Amino acid sequence: MFASPAFAQTATAGAASGGAASFLLQIAPLLFIFVIFYFLLIRPQTQRMKKHRAMIEAVKKGDSVVTGGGFIGRVTRVDEDEVEVELAPGMKVRALKSTLSEVRLPGGKPAND
């Protein structure tokens, strides 16, 4: 009715080696999902952030920019952390570089034409 101690030791040793294999089989789908998330979500987002940061750092006087609030204007002065944007003739505002969402290409086609 009761198992002998020798039998219990061999059963435990077999379970330990099988336990490692089953653990690897259980963790494999999670690792696969992480790899998929990395290539589909994380990596493209970091590349987009690097590209946006480089675009903001390269802003210069005369560029047309879009602020985070949706204002479109022309850069009149660039400092280390700030830019001065002319929204209308004679109306200049200062904005943080980090709030710029887009630097528009020069010579872009107007929306109404």
Q: How many domains does the structure of the chain reveal?
A: 2
What integer is the mean pLDDT of 57-86? Answer: 94
User: What is the domain extent for residue 45?
Assistant: 1-58
4 and 51 both lie in a single domain: yes
Contact partners, residue 92, CB within 8 Å, separation at least 6: 76, 84, 85, 86
The helix or strand, by DSSP H or E, that contains position 48, with its residue range, turns out to be helix 43-57
The reply to whether 31 and 3 lie within a common domain is yes
Checking if the pLDDT of 6 tops 80, the result is no
Mean pLDDT of 50-74: 93
Q: Identify the pLDDT of residue 107.
A: 65
The answer to whether residues 11 and 49 belong to one domain is yes
Structure tokens at 112: 């109404």
pTM exceeding 0.75: no
Task: Map residue 4 onto helix, strand or coil.
Answer: coil
User: Does one domain contain both 50 and 4?
Assistant: yes
Core vs surface per residue 34-44: b (16+ CB within 10 A) or e: eeeeeeeeeee
Q: Do 86 and 101 meet the contact criterion of CB atoms below 8 Å apart?
A: no
Task: Kindly state whether residue 109 falls inside one of the protein's structural domains.
Answer: no
Residues 54 and 1 in one domain: yes
